[in-house]
């Protein structure tokens, strides 16, 4: 893996393969993400979504192909992964150079996620949504060129999840990193992303721009139409209907 080329491209993947045993979890993946672009990656459990994200985050390696990414990249996982022995502000600034400038950046990041009053709190006193907001602040304070989100809202209740989606969308539009969101939630992908990709049988079978006007609500006919298409690409079809064979009109 090497640093991404300059210009408008943040991520460039060509011919990526990752094999476990005799199974190619990722088989010839081709994907480009522009700087400032938000891409959502959908797929069933075990389809290789997280494997792809881990490769981009240098937590796993590829067996073949070319992967170009920025050096400045961070990951937000499903679990906040806060250090329980450090207060909230110290968690945001963890592993960064000590000093007043870092402290000020960390406080600004906490303010952006609405937790500036929790700087001196212990992680164990936070709700699930608050802890995940701290994890988001910790990622953004590093000013990443690539932000990797691995189902970061999956463990949250429905209302908190919607609030976190809005927060992430707003902050990404402000900071403008390239974003790859791994999710199994089709509605979440449509609400947040500029493009939605579907990973199935080791390959990207869909790469579609989201043209639904914001604010994006499920009741919008364009939203519902895109959801139906994406569900079909995932192999999910309305009850009582038989999927058409591949290539059928």
DSSP for 61-100, please give it: --SEEEEEE-S-EEEE-SS----TTS-HHHHHTTTSPPSH
pTM as predicted: 0.92
State whether CATH 3.40.50.300 applies to domain 1-71. Answer: yes
**Mean pLDDT, rounded, for 158-163:** 94
- Classify domain 72-173 at the CATH superfamily level: P-loop containing nucleotide triphosphate hydrolases (3.40.50.300)
Residue 238 confidence (pLDDT): 60
Omega into 226 within 30° of 0, i.e. cis? Answer: no
Q: What's the whole-number average pLDDT of the chain?
A: 92
Helices 100-112 and 128-140 sit at what angle, rounded to 10 degrees?
Answer: 130
25-66 pLDDT, tens digit each: 999 999 999 999 999 999 998 899 999 999 999 999 999 999
141-155 pLDDT, tens digit each: 999 999 999 999 999
Query: Are both 1-71 and 72-173 of the same fold?
Result: yes
Domain ranges of the chain: 1-71, 72-173
Torsions phi, psi for 67 (to 5 deg)? -130, 115
182-202 pLDDT, tens digit each: 999 999 999 999 999 999 999
Q: Distance between CA 119 and CA 133 in Å, rounded?
A: 12
64-85 pLDDT, tens digit each: 999 999 999 999 999 999 999 9
């Amino acid at each position: 893996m090497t640093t991404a080329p300059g210009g408008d491209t943040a991520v460039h993947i060509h011919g990526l393969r990752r094999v476990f045993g005799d199974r190619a979890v990722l088989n010839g993946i081709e994907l480009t993400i522009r700087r400032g672009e938000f891409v959502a990656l959908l797929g069933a459990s075990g389809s290789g979504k997280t494997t792809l994200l881990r490769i981009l985050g240098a937590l796993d390696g590829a067996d073949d192909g070319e992967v170009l990414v920025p050096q400045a990249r961070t990951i937000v996982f499903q679990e906040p992964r806060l250090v329980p022995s450090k207060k909230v502000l110290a968690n945001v600034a963890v592993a960064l150079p000590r000093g007043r400038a870092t402290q000020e950046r960390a406080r600004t990041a906490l303010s952006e996620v609405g937790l500036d009053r929790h700087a001196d709190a212990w992680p164990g006193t936070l709700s699930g949504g608050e802890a995940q907001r701290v994890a988001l602040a910790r990622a953004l304070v590093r000013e990443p060129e690539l932000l990797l989100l691995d189902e970061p809202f999956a463990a949250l209740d429905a209302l908190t999840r919607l609030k976190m989606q809005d927060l992430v969308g707003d902050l990404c539009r402000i900071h403008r990193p390239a974003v790859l969101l791994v999710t199994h939630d089709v509605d979440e992908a449509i609400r947040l992303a500029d493009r939605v990709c579907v990973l199935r049988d080791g390959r990207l079978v869909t790469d579609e721009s989201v043209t639904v006007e914001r604010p994006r609500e499920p009741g919008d006919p364009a939203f519902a139409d895109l959801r139906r298409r994406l569900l079909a690409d995932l192999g999910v079809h309305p009850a009582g209907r038989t999927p058409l064979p591949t290539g059928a009109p």
